[in-house]
Structure 1
Amino acid sequence: MLRVGLTGGIGSGKSTVATRLAERGAVVIDSDRVAREVVARGTDGLADVVAAFGPDVRTAEGDLDRPALASIVFSDETARQRLNAIVHPRVRDRAAELAAAAPADAVVVQDVPLLVENGMAPLYHLVVVVDTPVDVRVRRLVEHRGMAEADARARIAAQATECARRAVADVWLDNGGAPERTAEAVDALWDGRLLPFEANVRLRRHTDRGAPTLVDYDLTWPSQAERVLGRLRLAVGDKAVRVDHVGSTSVPGLAAKDVLDFQVTVPTLDDSLDEPLAAAGFPRVPGFDRDSPHPPGGPETPKRTHASADPARWANVHVRAADSPFARYTLLFPAWLRADEAARAEYAALKRGLVGGADTIPEYGTDKEPWFDRAIPRATAWAAATGWTPA
């Protein structure tokens, strides 16, 4: 099962995207609909809302008087938090029930208006943000929902900013144009990413990406890494000492393969994280369970390697014990390269020279090992001179 979070600002057209995904076969869970269900007439949710805000928020027929409640909570942050504390846990639990009832091979799309505001992005394998220019959203709200323009703009301003939404978006879907263009974009997402991603998660496999290719530093790598870190940290919980973005993509300005590398440091190396990581979209990769000897001639060091099941975002996850020398080296090298411009340029030149001659990623990694053997003492000396320790 693949879990997809769908969000966007009011008037952005999430429902249009959700409808198209449902047409393609997704199981769509509408959080707004669920939120209405959990405070429907006769529910304990409605009883708690009335107890918190008074009898005037219930109609004579026994339903929730939404306009009356909105007039209380819209401009009062404390009241809004009190309402959220009543409604959100019930919505979460009901949505979990609906997701659990979906088929094992389902793509479950949860339409969550406040996904960003409530910090829910790590709960999903993928987050899709539907975006539309503010003026278009205002016009839709005025024409289709009968809002006054000032009210529409106030509602938009009260929600998450574009910057905050971009920070969690694995997919940024523009819904400001013709409907058929939005449908085409959703279809491409469904066929090219969601279906293969779901199969990979269910079958515990990753996508083979072929020969290594070097690209210039991508300014979006840090934000992409933060999204993955959120999922990894949620998956490993308190079983890990720390989880870090490592490797070349963590060094600003350094050319690299478009592969995000992460290290999960654990007190003791075992198989206890294999299933949590696989369920989160990072299945185990057999055959990559050793770090090469450092220094040369020493013993190999055990590790466990996982890779992303997302066909559009290659990521490797290296699980190492805290006492492994590689756990420290893996944190030290990026720190040293970030601080030492000459070492960074030297490493970049090495990689550019090697990448064309390696047919596979493991071969490319093996070709770099002699340089790493020579660089470890330099990085270690830098750490001693500067007093560096892992942050």
Structure 2
Amino acid sequence: MLRIGLTGGIGAGKSAAAAAFAEHGAVVIDADRLAREVVEPGKPGLAAVVEAFGADVLAPDGSLDRPKLGRVVFGDDAARARLNAIVHPLIGALTAERLASAPEDGVVLHDIPLIVEGNSGAGFHLVVVVTAPLETRLARLTGIRGMSEEDARARIAVQATDEQRIAAADVLLDNAGPLDRLQTAIAELWEHRLVPYAAGLAKGIPAPLPTRPVLPDPTWPVQHARSAARLRSWLHRPDLPVDHVGPTAAPAPGVAVPDVLDLRATLPDADAVRSAAAALTGSGWIVGAEPYSDGAVAHSADPGRPARLFLTADA
């Protein structure tokens, strides 16, 4: 299945985007909703939170008073770490249950506010980031959610910066305008990239490589860094050398080249190459039968980012 990480700063409109993806058929796993579910009355998660922070975090009806707990952990790194240590494993277990029930050829959308802050983007086939200007977000938070401007700014300040989100994003969705504009962008993304990607992933069919050269893109190195991080994460090799090679690695200024991202991963020996190639199933890389004397070649199933992966042996 194709797993998409959806994120965005508070007030950017991530929830509206998630709803639009769900209308197209995505299975949405909402991390905030799961976080509420694991601390419902009678659940072990709530008992653990009360043990850690005291009965004062409970509402009169025995449920968790989330605003009160928020005031306890907001700005206190140690308290927030204690809370995360309680709820994150429980959320992870629920997420695994929802994934197990999703169709193998489907699109699963993980709605997670802190993908960038948690540096977890490498765990998804793609990361989609919803963006909006600061003033627009402030207006939404103060007008729709009723926050004070001071509170809204404080919450924005502790989240990732726009620059950090852009670096982490495979897809940026601009939500500065009306909702129908966001919905149109999501419909196009769904039809032209996500559905073909999910189908290629399920059937083991790579996306076609482009034939028309393009002028150099300054984001190619960042795109390589994201792809390399995903490969290391999937193979559980955090120190795997993954070089950016081919025409997009060092293009001459102003000279058009094929828009294909080439990666070369160097493994210890031929056995490690064979093992890595076998482990790529489901990763988004489709291993081909084409001859390659130094190891194996895989192509990406993502039509939005044509890429090749060369697995080579160091010895």
TM-score range, shorter chain: over 0.9
Q: Secondary structure at the match of 1:46?
A: helix
Q: Give the whole-Å Cα distance in 2 for the aligned partners of 1:210 and 1:36.
A: 45
Residue 243 of structure 2 corresponds to residue 244 of structure 1: yes
Q: What is the RMSD of the two structures over their aligned residues, measured on CA atoms?
A: 1.7
Aligned to 1:378: none
Shift of 1:15: 1.1
Shift of 1:260: 1.1
Q: Secondary structure at the match of 1:6?
A: strand
Q: Secondary structure at the match of 1:34?
A: helix
User: Identity of paired residues, percent?
Assistant: 47
1:137-286 counterparts in 2 under 5 A? Answer: 137-209=137-209, 211=211, 213-238=212-237, 241-251=240-250, 253=252, 255=255, 256-270=257-271, 271-286=274-289
Tell me which moved more, 266-275 or 215-224. 266-275
Q: Alignment length, in residue pairs?
A: 311
Residues 214 and 258, structure 1, Cα contact 8 Å, conserved in 2: yes
Q: 1:307 aligns with which of 296, 299, 302?
A: 299
The one-letter code matched in structure 2 to 1:251 is A
Shift of 1:48: 1.5
Q: Secondary structure at the match of 1:173?
A: strand
Q: Give the whole-Å Cα distance in 2 for the aligned partners of 1:302 and 1:151.
A: 57
Q: Give the whole-Å Cα distance in 2 for the aligned partners of 1:104 and 1:283.
A: 16
Q: 2:313 aligns with which of 312, 317, 321?
A: 321
Aligned to 1:294: none
| Structure possessing the higher relative contact order (Cα contacts under 8 Å, 6 or more residues apart) | 2
Residues 12 and 130, structure 2, Cα contact 8 Å, conserved in 1: yes
Residues 239 and 266, structure 1, Cα contact 8 Å, conserved in 2: no
Q: Which runs of 4 or more aligned residues in structure 1 lie more than 6 Å from their structure 2 counterparts after TM superposition?
A: none
Shift of 1:242: 2.5
The one-letter code matched in structure 2 to 1:245 is H
The one-letter code matched in structure 1 to 2:268 is P
Residues 2 and 125, structure 1, Cα contact 8 Å, conserved in 2: yes
Tell me which moved more, 249-258 or 36-45. 249-258
Q: 1:132-162 CA distances to partner (integer Å, 9 max, x unpaired)?
A: 1111111111111111111111111111100
Aligned to 1:36: 36
Q: 1:41-86 CA distances to partner (integer Å, 9 max, x unpaired)?
A: 1111111111211121123322111122111111211211221121
Q: Give the whole-Å Cα distance in 1 for the aligned partners of 2:238 and 2:168.
A: 25
Aligned to 1:330: none
1:46–1:223 distance in 2 versus 1, CA, 3 Å: same
Q: Based on CA coordinates, which of the two structures has the bigger radius of gyration?
A: 1
Tell me which moved more, 47-56 or 195-204. 47-56
Q: Give the whole-Å Cα distance in 1 for the aligned partners of 2:29 and 2:144.
A: 23
Higher helix share: 1
Residues 244 and 262, structure 1, Cα contact 8 Å, conserved in 2: yes
Shift of 1:252: 6.1
Q: 1:4-62 CA distances to partner (integer Å, 9 max, x unpaired)?
A: 00000111111111111111111111111000001111111111111211121123322
Shift of 1:214: 3.4
Shift of 1:248: 3.3
Q: Give the whole-Å Cα distance in 2 for the aligned partners of 1:207 and 1:6.
A: 23
Residues 240 and 266, structure 1, Cα contact 8 Å, conserved in 2: no
Aligned to 2:114: 114
Question: TM-score under structure 1 normalisation?
Answer: 0.76
Flag structure 1 segments of 5+ consecutive residues without an equivalent. Answer: 291-300, 324-391
Q: Give the whole-Å Cα distance in 2 for the aligned partners of 1:65 and 1:231.
A: 37
Q: Give the whole-Å Cα distance in 2 for the aligned partners of 1:306 and 1:29.
A: 30
Q: Give the whole-Å Cα distance in 1 for the aligned partners of 2:243 and 2:62.
A: 52
1:238–1:224 distance in 2 versus 1, CA, 3 Å: closer
1:51–1:20 distance in 2 versus 1, CA, 3 Å: same
